[in-house]
Structure 1
Amino acid sequence: MTSNTLLRAARRTLIAGAAALLVSAVAAPSFMTPTFAADAPASVADLAQGLLGAVVNISTSQTVKGTEGPGAVPMPQLPEGSPFQDFFDDFFKNRGGDKDNGGQKVQSLGSGFVIDAEQGIVVTNNHVIADADDIEVNFSDGITLKATLVGTDTKTDVAVLKVDPKGHKLTAVKFGDSTKMRVGDWVMAIGNPFGLGGTVTVGIVSARNRDINSGPYDDFIQTDAAINRGNSGGPLFNSAGEVIGINTAIISPSGGSIGIGFSIPSQLASGVVDQLRQFGETRRGWLGVRIQPVTDDIAESLGMATAKGALVAGVIKGGPVDNGTIQAGDVILKFDGKDIHEMRDLPRVVAESPVGKAVDVLIVRKGVEQTVKVTLGRLEDGEKLASGEDGSNTDKDKGDKAPAVSTASVLGMTVGELNDETRKKFSIAADVSGVVITDVTKDSAAAERGIQPGEVITEIAQESVATPKDVMDRIGALKEQGRKNALLMLASKTGELRFVTIRMD
């Protein structure tokens, strides 16, 4: 075979190999090839250009006590000619403040966005402007306007500002529907990270419904779009240029972006913004109950097939349902037609409901589903009541006191009559009733559940108990029914209720 023949054979072999590789790639499973949404642009330049004008930088200043001393931060030593010299000179200039009154000016930077160009309404995070003496809004065209505070909400970390737009043409953006966002959808963040205004970053929705324990209504959108310090209060846009989130928090060991940022969903934020604009404060619905999660053990004790809903641990005296419509021990499954999958769903759904609205609530009471109608109060009016500041947050009493009987030992607990002697010994409030726990055996089932002497058993399996004999009888009855767990409602010394389950086998 000539050299030319060998070369042609080699070429045929290479081409065949390439063809085989191509066929193999085509035949590979579809998940190997990423797919992109039809509305995802090849470039986000046009989208960003139309939105940059609505995103603002927010600078605040406040006078605080001087920080000279051990906790003071010294000015860093920079190399001669460093480009950061002017920045640090401005930052540390006059840090000692007014020596006469011991005050000093502290400045901070954040982000925000305009939602009403005619009225000059700007939305940001509460923590961006908290305790500020002076707030300025800086626009992308170089204009700086003084801002006044319309209202804030610490629970969702939302604040609304107002500037005077007279003589200036502002650009506004609108809220979109965050409930339509799916994991994997493209999003864009625009803000003021580290003072670098007009910074655009792009990523996807990494997760939804995140609870980061920052407040009672946590329901964050998680994104990998780069969010850093200074992005707080800035918008997270969908591909249509609508605000579907307010960037508010990051997880970062270093202080910079590691691709885990969190945004308040527009579904939650828009309602808060509307209330702040209308009233200058929030007006949330209030049910007037204390709740706890429904665990597998509790679900089994209540005869529920699955662990879901919110368990009512107590009813606030003087609250909206202090008329018996909802009782301690009820499990709330639906509120105003919305499913309550877990405990944390209920506060958010209730808060989003208008004050005074009559709603249907689906509950499980003693193993039976039923619907009750309740009229909501106002959370802000009930917070003092719920916290006990007026001394009236005792839960409804369960059962009447019975004649004195001997103590009993059950499930690792020693229980006795709740009388004047035991009330005084354990400092139990006069309006708490039931059977007092006088001792808990170490390493017992009760000890594992954190039960302490001085707590009072008010119910077992949703039946009131008033004597040690009642406790023994209820436990015996549950065992005869083949139950593996006993559901106890316990009252603290001050009357606050909680549910625990104890294994009986």
Structure 2
Amino acid sequence: MKKWGGGNLASSLGLPVLQSCWGRAATLCVVLSLTNFGFVSAQEQPISVTLNARARLFEQLAKDAEAFDKRNILKQVVRLAKPSVVHIQTRKLVDKNSRRTVEEAGSGFAIEIGSKKYILTNRHVVFPAVLDGVKISLEDGRRLTPLKVASDPSSDIALVTVKESHLLIPARIGNSSKMEIGDFVVAIGSPFGLSYSITYGIVSAKGRRDLKLGTAGVMIQDFMQTDASINPGNSGGPLVNLRGEVIGINTAIASNSGGSEGIGFTIPINMAMVIARRLESGGAIANAYLGIRMDHDFTDATAIKLGLSHARGVRLTGITDGSPANRAGLQTNDVLLSYSGTMIEDDDHLANLVSLTPVGREVSLLLLRNSKPYKVNVKVATRISGE
């Protein structure tokens, strides 16, 4: 340990003498900041490092970076998920009464249903497109020829059949119902036409069902919310978990500027695959229904009168004659608490659960009637009129 030069001056001023324990590898240039005596601030003095010490620091940093890269699973996620993603360029009509068109970019990803491969994306990415206005390309630039586009306006899902399906690498499909708030996710897409861009974030919320979307007619909503950066052009691209599995289709953003503000919405893949399989089977989407009218203003006060501690589930205000609900014996003022084992959060949640149920399937309902729990089985039918 050695004393700083100028120690005699410090002693004469009645100040403690600073000492250094840095050794020979570097010189620490720290000086007392005493403006009254014209001393220079310590922050203004550089820390000099010998060339040999600098080289050793770079070597150590390289080793640390290599170790970090081996633990960086985001790279592995991207390597696994990216080959399944496609870039979609669409030429759309500005409006029905005009021949003017506009170019828009979007994304999609390959899936497998049975032994056949398709591209799954948002309906608003490929609709309304002019004839031969949809161009699809792989990451390596190879073009794919669209043969058929099947879509469902109520869910904003589209299934695209391409001629070169043998070139598609199907994504691994995850289970979106297992995703929890706080789980890390990766978004892949073409924001502002910049194809195959990667962003990451977390699942911020689940069960967003009352969004005012620019795409008209999206009735089935059960969005997950994410803060992974999503911009125009990300639509149709996958949201991927840290296992490399697709757990959602990036669909919309909440933004005042038109760009990402940390609030993006994705369609859960479980819902998307139900719609995709229906589209794959051909024909129009037949949404199931119960035939009930729901209390959209179910309050705690009403719930207490019916035997609940607070408003939860769905209170029935009417039953359609001849409907599945009527045949199952449901009654006005019944409160539906669970549907096929899933606890019902509100009326929008129930409407989604019913709409995604295959027509003809029998499901179990847990309900409260006269302050007592009952279990009822009901076979859903084709929707005749809105619930």
> How has the CA–CA distance of structure 1 residues 65 and 297 changed in structure 2, closer, same or farther, with 3 Å as cutoff?
closer
Could you say which residue in structure 2 is the equivalent of 1:103? 99
Could you say which residue in structure 2 is the equivalent of 1:371? 375
- Is the CA contact (8 Å cut-off) linking 2:92 and 2:127 kept in structure 1? no
Distance 2:284 2:95 in 1: 29
What is the TM-score of this pair, normalised by structure 2?
A: 0.75
Deviation at 1:277, TM superposition (A): 1.2
Deviates more, 1:263-272 or 1:109-118: 109-118
Q: Which residue of 281, 298, 307 maps to 1:278? A: 281
**1:241 lines up with 2:244 in the alignment:** yes
**Match for 1:307: what amino acid?**
A
Q: Which residue of 191, 199, 202 maps to 1:204? A: 202
Deviation at 1:207, TM superposition (A): 1.9
Deviation at 1:234, TM superposition (A): 0.4
User: Could you give the per-residue CA deviations for residues 266-296 of structure 1, whole angstroms, max 9, x where no partner exists?
Assistant: 1211211121112344333311111124310
User: Could you give the per-residue CA deviations for residues 67-91 of structure 1, whole angstroms, max 9, x where no partner exists?
Assistant: 8xxxxxxxxxxxxxxxxxxxxxxxx
**1:57 lines up with 2:87 in the alignment:** yes
Could you say which residue in structure 2 is the equivalent of 1:474? none
Deviates more, 1:185-194 or 1:133-142: 133-142
Aligned residues: 322
> How has the CA–CA distance of structure 1 residues 148 and 311 changed in structure 2, closer, same or farther, with 3 Å as cutoff?
farther
> How has the CA–CA distance of structure 1 residues 255 and 10 changed in structure 2, closer, same or farther, with 3 Å as cutoff?
same
Distance 2:154 2:358 in 1: 17
**Match for 2:109: what amino acid?**
F
Deviation at 1:208, TM superposition (A): 1.9
Deviates more, 1:123-132 or 1:293-302: 293-302
Could you say which residue in structure 2 is the equivalent of 1:125? 122
- Is the CA contact (8 Å cut-off) linking 1:66 and 1:104 kept in structure 2? no
Deviation at 1:192, TM superposition (A): 0.9
Deviation at 1:171, TM superposition (A): 1.9
Q: Which residue of 89, 109, 116 maps to 1:113? A: 109
Deviation at 1:115, TM superposition (A): 1.1
Mark the runs of 5 or more structure 2 residues left unpaired by the alignment.
8-15, 23-67, 213-217
- Is the CA contact (8 Å cut-off) linking 1:325 and 1:373 kept in structure 2? no
User: Could you give the per-residue CA deviations for residues 163-211 of structure 1, whole angstroms, max 9, x where no partner exists?
Assistant: 0116x63222121011222222221111111111111111121222223
* RMSD after superposition: 2.9
- Is the CA contact (8 Å cut-off) linking 1:148 and 1:163 kept in structure 2? yes
Q: 3-state SS of the aligned residue for 1:156?
A: coil
**Match for 1:132: what amino acid?**
A
Distance 1:44 1:106 in 2: 35
Q: 3-state SS of the aligned residue for 2:274?
A: helix
> How has the CA–CA distance of structure 1 residues 41 and 296 changed in structure 2, closer, same or farther, with 3 Å as cutoff?
farther
Q: 3-state SS of the aligned residue for 2:367?
A: strand
**Match for 2:104: what amino acid?**
S
**1:327 lines up with 2:324 in the alignment:** no
Could you say which residue in structure 2 is the equivalent of 1:222? 225
Matches within 5 A, 1:385-464: 386=386
Matches within 5 A, 1:167-182: 169-182=167-180
Could you say which residue in structure 1 is the equivalent of 2:143? 144
**Match for 1:254: what amino acid?**
S
- Is the CA contact (8 Å cut-off) linking 1:119 and 1:162 kept in structure 2? no
Identity of aligned residues (%): 36
Q: 3-state SS of the aligned residue for 1:322?
A: helix
Q: Which has the higher contact order (CA 8 A, sep 6+)?
A: 2
Distance 1:342 1:64 in 2: 37
**1:252 lines up with 2:255 in the alignment:** yes
Distance 1:212 1:343 in 2: 11
Could you say which residue in structure 1 is the equivalent of 2:50? none
- Is the CA contact (8 Å cut-off) linking 1:150 and 1:280 kept in structure 2? no
Could you say which residue in structure 1 is the equivalent of 2:77? 47
- Is the CA contact (8 Å cut-off) linking 2:147 and 2:163 kept in structure 1? no
Q: Which residue of 253, 261, 265 maps to 1:262? A: 265
> How has the CA–CA distance of structure 1 residues 180 and 291 changed in structure 2, closer, same or farther, with 3 Å as cutoff?
same
Distance 1:265 1:341 in 2: 17
> How has the CA–CA distance of structure 1 residues 333 and 66 changed in structure 2, closer, same or farther, with 3 Å as cutoff?
closer
Q: 3-state SS of the aligned residue for 2:324?
A: coil
Could you say which residue in structure 1 is the equivalent of 2:156? 157
